[in-house]
Amino acid sequence: MENSWVKRQYGSLMQVETDDRILDRKERLLAVREPLLSWYHKNRRILPWREEPEPYRVWISEIMLQQTRVEAVKPYFARFMETLPDVQALASVEEETLLKLWEGLGYYNRARNLQKAAQVCMEEHDGQLPASYQKLLSLPGIGSYTAGAIASIAFGIPEPAVDGNVLRVLSRLFESREDIGKQSVKRQLEQELRQVIPKELPGDFNQALIELGAIVCIPSGEPLCSQCPFSTLCLARRHQTTGEIPVKAGKKERRREEKTVFIIEYEDKAAIRKRSSKGLLASLYEFPNVPGHLKEEEIPQALEIDRGEILAIEPLPEAVHIFSHVEWHMIGFRVMIKRELPQQYPMKQVKEIFEKYPLPNAFQAYTALLKRDTNCILPQKYLCADRDGTDGGA
């Protein structure tokens, strides 16, 4: 039951919260509900998955939004929904088509797990996402946050959805210096939210906390406290410690790997190859490459091509791509050959490469160079910087 004192007094909290009467964490959460929901209903962003919160649409959007900015997701979401509009279509699509739809979003296991979960839904849930938090949690690729988001937004089930935005907002609200990278901290906040989440508006409540973290209680730079609906309740703001909170232990230093990348061309064709089905960027396509930074004179031997078969070698710009645990520091060469060498380097039409084969953002700097003097018009994403410098693992 709500604390009636808090409900009556939250509007003048700064006058009543004294050294003799400090709100506990549950009271503080109860007090933020009304101003938070009011703020959300006035300030929420209009998003395609938010305006039509069907379970499938909510699910796809939530998986896409992991590690990716909202604006970057919008065109991917539209293309995905047009091609794979429901669970059945997702469950039966060819993996290469699925990965091509996901191309550029990174963390490609997210896409593979989507398909695995869709296949489970076809086999066990009549082709629908189950309207149960626990059953959602059992699907491949769905953790507590995603299960809570789908359950609350699509089905109206009062379950919390705690992501990095929510962890930051609540850490500042409580002025907590606990490490938000610890699962125990996340589980504690989930349990606390479960006790106060409004049963009539669980989806709006969860989205309001997430939205507040995304556009007001921001991760980089000073939070916009003057725009916060419960700034008088926020202990970090009151004590001017927002710059110190949240606390998160430093990540392990990333491993550095050097690579030499080759764009091997003959007329309007280029060589690409499929990566291993396991490990980093599994089953995606790449340009031929070798470990280390080679000198131009070392290239024929490294590629196992006779120097007489090479028409010209042109150095290409350096590029860096950052993954979660490793950095690729790349140099490149365009190698123009006199004839096709299908046994060593199978080649595809440049236009076909862009239309059919999933290429990770890791090679984006070199992919753009294939535009050259062909009639191939590159998708816009190949002409701009990587969205966030990350590309997922296995």
Provide φ and ψ at 264, rounded to 5°: -95, 120
Alpha-carbon gap, residue 360 to 362, rounded angstroms: 5
Per the annotation, the verdict on 62 as an active-site residue is: yes
Alpha-carbon gap, residue 339 to 175, rounded angstroms: 67
Q: Which residues contact 273 (CB under 8 A, 6 or more apart)?
A: 285, 286, 287, 288, 345, 346
Query: What sections of the chain are H helices per DSSP?
Result: 4-9, 13-16, 25-43, 48-51, 55-65, 70-83, 87-92, 95-102, 109-124, 133-137, 144-155, 164-174, 183-196, 202-215, 235-238, 299-303, 350-356, 364-367
Q: How far is CA 131 from CA 56, 156, 232, in A?
A: 11, 9, 37
Tokens of 47: 């998003």
Determine how β-strand 326-337 pairs with β-strand 310-322.
antiparallel
Tokens of 97: 């088509």
In the set 62, 159, 178, 265, the catalytic residue is 62
Count of other CB atoms within 10 angstroms of residue 266: 17
Tokens of 340: 């096709």
Residues annotated as catalytic are 62
